[in-house]
Amino acid sequence: MREQLLLLPGYLTAHLQLSLAALCASALLAIPLGITVHRRPALEPALLGAASAIQTIPGLALLAVMVPLFAGVGALLAGGGISVRGIGAWPALVALTLYGLLPIVRNTVTGLAGVDPAVREAARGVGMTPTEELWRVELPLALPVIIAGVRTAAVWIVGTATLATPIGATSLGNYIFSGLATRNNAAVLVGCLAAAALALGLDQLIRMLEAGIRARRRAWWGAAVALLGALALYAGATAAIRAGRTAPAIAIGAKPFTEQYVLAEILRQQIEARTGIATRGVPSLGSTVAFDALSAGDLDAYVDYSGTIWATIMHRGDPGERRGALLAEVEQFLAREHGIAVAGALGFENSYALAMRADRARELGLSRISDLARRAPELEIGGDYEFFARAEWRALVAAYGLAFRAQRAMDPSLLYTAVRERQVDAISAYSTDGRIAALGLTVLDDDRRVIPPYDAIVLASARLAHEHPEVIAALRELAGAIDAAAMRRMNAAVDADGRSPADVAREFLERK
Amino acid sequence: MIELRSLTRRYADRVAVDDLSLSVATGELLVLVGGSGSGKTTTLRLVNRLIEPTSGSVWIDGFDTHAEPAPMLRRRIGYCFQQVGLFPHLSVGQNVAITPTLLGWNAAEVAARVDELLARVALDPAAYRDRRPDALSGGEAQRVGLARALAARPRLMLLDEPFGALDPLTRENLQQAFTSIRRELNLTGIFVTHDMAEALLLGDRIAVLHAGRLVQVGTPSELLRAPADERVAELLRTPRRQAEALDALLGPSAQQ
């Protein structure tokens, strides 16, 4: 817990910066939009419709689409010498700004429409121009309603900002994503409580501002403005300080599961120890986000799996060649199509596997996937979010004729609990997962060799390979250094023993 | 002096004001009367361009009202209407000060003018200046409305049933206050009402409208003496009938 709390100032500050920046941008966009809609009611269906449509997109999806969008814009602007990062705070800021528009636009329109027609008549009658009427009469009278909209947006933005972690923006979501993935409930709890406290705090401050304006109590709204101003000042100053001293550190990514956190730490510590170049971690990235960021040059290195590249990037459905040949083909493809270098295979495979409780498998008499296929219509299977959309699942279905009674997609961290609690009969497991042994699960044999090999490989961006060959050399030293048993032990050290990925990585490098 | 020249306002489905020509002499109060939909309020709002005419024009002291932007025109014309429309977020003093502020008067001048006007509409400046509109009675609110309309020293006043929503005692008070103010300042005015007694008591001349057209215009005594048609005659009979009914009721006791 102590270790988690040490991270709090950094995460909380980053979360505050992201949320306040998005809230300000939202308000600056939405209030003029609301005024425009009020003045030209013909625009209302189009503008409010667009803002509502954005709202219906799940927060995580809206954040995720920003990555290819920004990468595309970045590619367009690169010619002009402008660099736009596809992951990190900027795409998160844009997504959150869009997310906050609806409540503010809607309340601005409602607030302006609520001004008494007699007061409008008087404003025109005393000789106000439309602009004077807006500033002297309409906006002051609509202000409490507009601020109520800002308050709603603030709560939405602070909550949704926790989902900015998978696109590389630091937030309190870092606690939640890494905590869920490594079964660290303390981290999840700290992240959730801190995000809730921040949302409630902002909500109360803005409520005070609104109430002060409604009641025309200068002391109330003055205090609220002062406190909000102090928060904004703190967020702005810390952001400026950080921007001022940012050294070009090498960015190492990790997808949101334990093994990835451990491997990212191993990569970082190896690079820093061998080359002295600073690194920074970009944890909990979505699977394709990590690859897109690497090929766009926003990420310098991370560990991926040959089978993943084969299936999701190269879109190959066939199991293809055996291990070595597939690896060679993947390597060629990455170099040719994306300029990405493979700095060695770590020496173990983490393939998808189908696993069941040992007692359940015995009871049904199953040891191979062919056996499972016969009983599948009575059984339920659980898989991580990606699994059922992946080519190898389709290949499994096609090769074995798998048809389950039900299939459930869930967070990878919950899969093992689900199978242990008998909520599902089989799950998609990872072959290096420490919990396979810990929970006494049986891995079913892929007797028709459908699942492609999943060699863990270190991917490095073209920029890194070009500018820092010494880093590539340091990474190559890790080739073949980790076997499946070692990886399983390290995963279990985090998942079961509650040790930190950094600690486990340090121990591994010291022993090597 | 106000001149309405062939003023017409058409809407998709009806003609609200139909080829209306009228003139109001300087210092004169013209009262517009007529039933609902006769076009009296539309006519009034055409003068300060809260509504724009379909055709025809309004001239004030020899100038076409379309020669300047509508907001500038309105700052020179006092405007009072039944709902008053005080700005709820401003104090009484700030409400009265609004037109001088828009015109860019300096603060001391504005403050002095506010106190002068509050006193003129019989509200103690010290007691009322900083009050909020929601703390005023209906009569007080309309007094403030009157003060706001007079603030920038207009030569011209437009009043749309300003006393229509007040209780009889307050109404009579305000009618008298208004009459003395307009005489004192020699204001030219157009006053809309549907209350014939009010029209007869306040107006120098009365114009009777029906369906957007002028039926008759003249002094109260001219109208009473020679109503143009049965409709005008009927309108004029109403207050007299009421007065006779009251007389009959009060008669015996008055004779004692």
pLDDT digits (tens, 9 = 90+) for A336-357: 988 899 999 999 988 888 999 9
- The whole-number pLDDT of residue A87 equals 76
Does the pTM of the predicted model rise above 0.95?
no
List phi, psi (to 5°) of A428.
-80, 120
Helices A139-161 and A2-39 sit at what angle, rounded to 10 degrees? 140
Quote the distance between the C-alpha of residue A170 and its chain's center. 9
- How far is the C-alpha of A53 from the C-alpha of A455, rounded, in Å? 41
Positions in chain A short of pLDDT 50: none
Question: What pLDDT sits at residue A223?
Answer: 92
Give pLDDT, residue A430. 84
Phi-psi category of B107—alpha, beta or left, where left has phi over 0 and alpha has psi -120 to 50? alpha
CB–CB contact A126 B74 (8 Å): yes
Q: Using CB atoms, pick whichever of A120, A129, A140 lies closest to residue B89.
A: A140
Is A141 an interface residue toward B (CB < 8 Å)?
yes
Chain B residues lying within 8 Å of A214, measured CB to CB: none
Burial category of A266 from C-beta neighbours within 10 Å (exposed 0-12, middle 13-18, buried 19 and up): buried
Mutation to test the A interface, candidates B79, B95, B103, B114, most A Cβ within 10 Å:
B79
For chain B, say whether A126 makes contact (Cβ under 8 Å): yes
SS3 content of chain B, % helix, strand, coil (to 5): 45, 25, 30
Would you give per-residue pLDDT tens digits along chain B (256 residues)?
999 999 999 998 899 999 999 999 999 999 999 988 899 999 999 999 999 999 999 999 999 999 999 999 999 999 999 999 999 999 999 999 999 999 999 999 999 999 999 999 999 999 999 999 999 999 999 999 999 999 999 999 999 999 988 898 989 999 999 999 999 999 999 999 988 989 999 999 999 999 999 999 999 999 989 999 888 898 888 888 888 888 888 876 554 4
The pLDDT value recorded for residue A269 is 95
* A88 contacts: CB under 8 Å, gap ≥ 6: A167, A168, A169, A282, A298
- Rounded Cα distance between A415 and A413, Å, is 6
Interface of B with A (CB under 8 A): 48, 50, 69, 71-76, 79, 81, 83-89, 98-99, 102, 132, 148-149
